[in-house]
Amino acid sequence: MAIAPDTLPAQAAPPPAPPSVAPSVAPSVAPSVAPRGSLGGRLVLATLAFCMVFTLAAVAVLTLSAWKSGLTTMEAELTQIEQIYSGTLSKAIWELDREALQAHVQSAMRLPSVGRVELKVMLANSAMVVIERAREEWGGPGRAPTRRLVLTYEPYPGAREKVGELLLQGDEGVLWQRLRGALAAIVITQLLQSLMLAGLIMLMFNRMVTVHVQRIASHLAGVGPGNLGATLELQRDSHRQDELGQLVSGVNLLQGSLANYLEQQQRYEQELAGHRDHLAHLVDERTAALQAANARLESLARTDPLTGLPNRRHFDEVKKNEFRRARRSGQGLALLVCDIDCFKDYNDHYGHAMGDQCLIAVAHTLRASLARAGDLVARIGGEEFGVLLPGTHEEAAWLLAQRVRAAVAACAIEHRHSQAAPVVTISIGMAVLEPGDAEDFEALFQQADQALYRAKAAGRNQVAGPIRAAHERGEGGAAP
């Protein structure tokens, strides 16, 4: 019994801106140049390219659909074979009719969808017998479906027994054969549709666009200063308000306005020259103003607005340069980290306004204590100041730190709530870079910060520096 495969049906698939002013150029008639490529031809090529892409996509989708349909069809055929042969095979096995079994297996192999049939006879108290048939060219099921059916027989009601197994494996070659037939029909259909569509587009474009565009190009090639009044007309219905009609109206309007434009061009050029000179003057003035503003902004960005000292940003930039210079030249670099003693208590009891005045006074005192132009004092925190002393070694830095500490105390700014003195004082941590010392500035800053903590812990209003200097001077040289 042959089962016919299902057949697959083929599937188809703003207001105008004022004219710009340009330098005066004498108009000339452009020579007629033959076009190197036709718009219609390009359109056809583009259409063919699109159709080719669409055809490939459609072929891929339809091929996948045809493959899945073939798998479904073959699965249905194998299922139908199971349904047809299951009862008769079970009965033949029970009755031990070997000729009937051979005939059934051979009959199933005649169906084109079947690549291999395997029948296992499994009766109680009997050895299993395997009957197998396969096509000569069959190399395995591959992507073809496989069906396995357990055969049972009921000799009398309520006594169903398993008598064997039927294995049906599809022929992958039949799947590919059916797919090739469907694929050929799909490809031919899609190609014919693409070619017919491209030919129709070419014909319509040539009759509706190409002829009139050539007429417009010929007219524009002959336009000159002496015939600007000659209007453009096409051999078509003048009442059509499509794109070509708009183009014709635009060309005629352009020719009418071109004459007025040429008359006014000289006046516009003279006015433009005057405006250009005035604009250049304004640009120079604005550039100078912007440069001055940028200089002020640069100064403000590097200056603490309260004390007028350089801020942390300026300090960070200078410290890198001075550290590299000290390492390169082998000269010393001293760093003082100064902190106002008990400044929080000063703010709490005298108010923030007085605290700001205290900061200003201390900042002015620090700046006045530095005599060299290369020395830098900057506000690096709330009540914390940093002092960079290039080319300064331990002894000189120590003496300068003591002088700065004494100068702040000499200001005699009242501070009754200080734990160090009845006036505002500062504690100073000192670190000095010597050849072979810290690898980067952060290590030097850490040394100064640790020295500042030692000065605070020792009672404030002191200078704390390197360990060796502390031993030589008795740790800090306490303030009077």
Query: What percent of the chain has pLDDT above 90?
Result: 26
Give the whole-angstrom CA distance, residue 309 versus residue 303. Answer: 6
Judging by beta carbons within 10 Å of its beta carbon (0-12, 13-18, 19+), is residue 86 exposed, middle or buried? middle
Helix (H, G, I), strand (E, B) or coil at 387: strand
> What is the rounded CA–CA span in Å between residue 218 and residue 33?
10
Residue type at 202?
A: M
Question: What is the pTM assigned to this prediction?
Answer: 0.42
Residue 39's pLDDT is what? 67
Most confident of 359-373, 434-448, 457-471: 359-373
- CA quadruple 310, 311, 313, 318: dihedral sign: positive
Measured distance CA(248)–CA(290) in Å, rounded: 51
Instruction: Express each pLDDT in 68-121 by its tens digit.
Output: 888 888 888 888 887 887 788 887 877 778 888 888 888 888 888 888 888 888
Place of tokens 């109680």: 124
- Report DSSP state, residue 209: I
Q: Is 383 a catalytic residue?
A: yes
Task: Give CATH 3.30.450 domain extents, the chain.
Answer: 42-178
Q: Taking 60 as the threshold, does the pLDDT of residue 461 lie above it?
A: yes
Name which of 149, 140, 84 is nearest 111 in CA terms: 84
Query: Tens digit of pLDDT for each residue in 191-221?
Result: 888 888 878 887 888 777 777 787 788 888 8
- Highest mean pLDDT out of 62-66, 198-202, 281-285: 281-285
pLDDT, greater one: 451 or 54: 451
CA angle 290/296/299 to nearest 5° reads 140
Contacts for 304 with CB less than 8 Å, ≥ 6 apart: 310, 311, 363, 378, 379
Whether residue 385 contacts residue 378, with contact meaning beta carbons closer than 8 Å, is answered with yes
- Weakest mean pLDDT among 142-151, 172-181, 237-246: 237-246
Angstrom distance (rounded) from CA 478 to CA 474: 9
Percent of the chain with pLDDT over 70: 87
The catalytically annotated residue of 77, 172, 322, 383 is 383
Neighbours of 396 (CB within 10 A): 14
Q: How far apart are CA 143 and CA 67, in angstroms?
A: 10
CA distance 102 to 395: 116
Place of tokens 């054969």: 177
The residues, ordered by sequence, that sit 6+ positions from 394 with a Cβ below 8 Å of its Cβ are 332, 334, 432, 434, 465, 466, 468, 469
Whether the predicted pLDDT of 57 surpasses 80: yes
For CATH 3.30.70.270, the residue range(s) in the chain are 312-473
Q: What is the mean pLDDT of the chain?
A: 80
Look at the chain and count its residues. Answer: 480
Reading the block at residue 432, the tokens are 């000095």
CATH classification number, 42-178, choose in 3.20.20, 1.10.240, 3.90.105, 3.30.450: 3.30.450
Could you tell me which residues come within 8 angstroms of residue 434 by beta carbon, excluding any fewer than 6 positions away? 332, 393, 394
Residue the block writes with tokens 């042959």? 2
Q: Evaluate whether 460 touches 346 at the Cβ level (below 8 Å).
A: no
Provide the residue type at 409 as one letter: A
Dihedral sign (CA 14, 18, 19, 22): negative
Please name which of 463, 24, 14, 3 lies closest in space to residue 273, comparing C-alpha atoms.
24
CA 445, 448, 454, 458 torsion-angle sign:
negative
Question: What is the model's pLDDT at position 36?
Answer: 58
Q: DSSP label at 13?
A: -
Which candidate, 406, 369, 397, places its Cα nearest to that of 469? Answer: 397
Beta strands in 146-203 (DSSP E): 146-153, 161-170
Q: What tens digit of pLDDT does each residue of 336-393 get?
A: 999 999 999 999 999 999 999 999 999 999 999 998 888 999 999 999 999 999 988 8
- Mean pLDDT throughout 407-416? 94
Which CATH code for domain 312-473? 3.30.70.270
Strand partners, 164: 121, 151
- Indicate whether 403 pLDDT > 60: yes
Give the integer Cα–Cα distance in Å for 137 and 140. Answer: 9
Q: Are 131 and 118 in contact (CB under 8 A)?
A: yes
